[in-house]
Amino acid sequence: MKIKTKILVWYGLSFLILIAVYMLITLFTASTFIQRNTTTTIKHETEEIAQELTIEDDGRVYYKDDDEDETFRYLYDNIIYVIYKDDVIFSGEIPGSIQNDLALQAYEVQTYESNQSTWLIYDVPVDQTYTLRAFYSTSESSNIFNQVLLWMLIFSPIFVLVSLSGGYVIIKQAFKPIHTMTKTALEITHEQHYDTRISFKDTKDEVTLLASTINQMLDSIEKAIEREQSFTTNVSHDLRTPLSVLRAQIEYLKSKNNDHALYKDFDDILKQLSVLENLVSQLLEWVRTKHIQVVSFEDMDAVLVLQTLIESFEPQASQKHIQIDYVHALDSLTIQTEVASFVRIFTNLISNAVKYTEPNGHIVLTMKQGKQSLIVEVKDNGIGMSQASIDKAFDPFFRADPSREQQDSLGIGLSITKNLVERLNGTIIIKSQLKHGTTVTVTLPISQ
């Protein structure tokens, strides 16, 4: 999961949890508040009215100090009043959903649950004979609270969505420089453009500091690579000249020598000199292939070129009694490629197959056409490689077993091959098993 997604998920969950906690707290406190408020209201209103009430035996009920014509209202502020005389209803009517079986309890708030509502009942003696009973339904307060809760439930997801949208925009802007860094790093890795740098706005934040630090690191890497390239190129060129001079002098001395007993010594020296020249040539080729630019692609018959390459290796293979088979179902296949690089790729692969296949071995080169690609497989039953060696096979100067390797190799053949394959926009894969042979598969586009 991406960091941006993790932040948004955490952000959203945090909001949901906060809203849920807020609603639970609101629900608890509101219920307590409603209960306390309704209880206080019914007690205060009923006690105040009971003090001001005058009740006559003829049934007239009015307020003290008021006009006797002003009759008592039995519904006031949503409170229903009933007057009892000696535990019997004297005046007024109880709500229809309440049964008249609750005993009078002076100054005690009673709760009655009906199918439709919850009622608070409060009794206040007016005098020794009469008692004022109040009925107060909590349904209205509960309905208001439920409406508020419902609106909170409706608007909470909308609020979360709006918050997440805003958070996404902010996070996207914050991570934009990181996407730029990733894109630049991938470009440097695949294209090997070590002079590329990360572009960024100097906003004085942590991301800017990171980008600046990476650019400084890239500067150091580029300088190190330039030093390595310069050293390798210079050393290779500096070695080639004295080796050529040395060869010429040895061949001259050999031609002037009349002692045939020394011929073998001269031949041994020249042989070792050839090894050194080969190593220097490999080193120069490796440097060139790392920086070679494909000038132009041209049409080439891949079937014919591979056939020619195989024929050129048959004398070398016959010395070890190795059979080379060429398997293909096409008479010709024209592809667009850089011919020199193509030839060098399969020259290296066939050469390795011959070199590391035991006498009386077998090499099979298979060519087939994909949808838009050429697929060539070079398979041998030679010494093979371990998985650890496969993982490092394309590393420059890596040799699976230095004690067994020929001394005229620097271990850069596969590295050169991989560089050339990638220059041709292709891929190369190695599959191998120790003592059971190796299969190298190269895939190249037919048209560029």
The angle formed by the CA atoms of residues 289, 292 and 298, to the nearest 5 degrees, is 110
H/E/C letters for each residue in the chain?
CCHHHHHHHHHHHHHHHHHHHHHHHHHHHHHHHHHHHHHHHHHHHHHHHHHHEEECCCCCEEECCCCCCCECCCEECCEEEEEEECCEEEECCCCCCCCCCCCCCECCEEEEECCCCEEEEEEEECCCCEEEEEEEECHHHHHHHHHHHHHHHHHHHHHHHHHHHHHHHHHHHHHHHHHHHHHHHHHHHHHCCCCCCCCCCCCCCHHHHHHHHHHHHHHHHHHHHHHHHHHHHHHHHHHHHHHHHHHHHHHHHHHHCCCHHHHHHHHHHHHHHHHHHHHHHHHHHHHHHHHCCCCCCEEEEHHHHHHHHHHHHHHHHHHCCCEEEEEECCCCCEEEECHHHHHHHHHHHHHHHHHCCCCCCEEEEEEEECCCEEEEEEEECCCCCCHHHHHCCCCCCCCCCCCCCCCCCCCCHHHHHHHHHHHCCCEEEEEEECCCEEEEEEEEECCC
pLDDT > 80? residue 275: no
Q: Which residues have CB under 8 Å from 262's CB, separation 6+?
A: none
Provide the pLDDT for residue 403: 45
Q: Give the mean pLDDT of 322-329.
A: 92
Residue with tokens 């009740």: 55
Q: Is 58 or 401 the better-scoring residue by pLDDT?
A: 58
Q: Give the mean pLDDT of 347-375.
A: 92
Provide the pLDDT for residue 380: 94
Q: Is 30 or 351 the better-scoring residue by pLDDT?
A: 351
What whole-number distance in Å separates Cα of residue 55 and Cα of residue 359? 130
Provide the pLDDT for residue 146: 73
Provide the pLDDT for residue 404: 46
Which pLDDT tens digit goes with each residue over 204-228? Answer: 777 778 888 888 888 888 787 777 6
Q: Give the mean pLDDT of 394-417.
A: 67
Q: Is 162 or 410 the better-scoring residue by pLDDT?
A: 162
In degrees rounded to 5, what are phi and psi of residue 265?
-65, -40
Give the range with max mean pLDDT: 99-108, 202-211, 225-234, 400-409. Answer: 99-108
pTM to 2 decimal places: 0.49
The CA distances from residue 76 to 46, 72, 106, 277, in Å, are 10, 10, 20, 116
Provide the pLDDT for residue 440: 94
Q: Is 227 or 377 the better-scoring residue by pLDDT?
A: 377
Provide the pLDDT for residue 292: 59
Q: In the chain, pLDDT over 90 holds for what percent of residues?
A: 22
Provide the pLDDT for residue 60: 78
What whole-number distance in Å separates Cα of residue 314 and Cα of residue 303? 17
What whole-number distance in Å separates Cα of residue 100 and Cα of residue 133? 12
Of 345, 253, 270, which Cα lies nearest the Cα of 306? Answer: 345
Give the range with max mean pLDDT: 19-28, 294-303, 338-347. Answer: 338-347
Contact 280, 247 (CB under 8 A): no
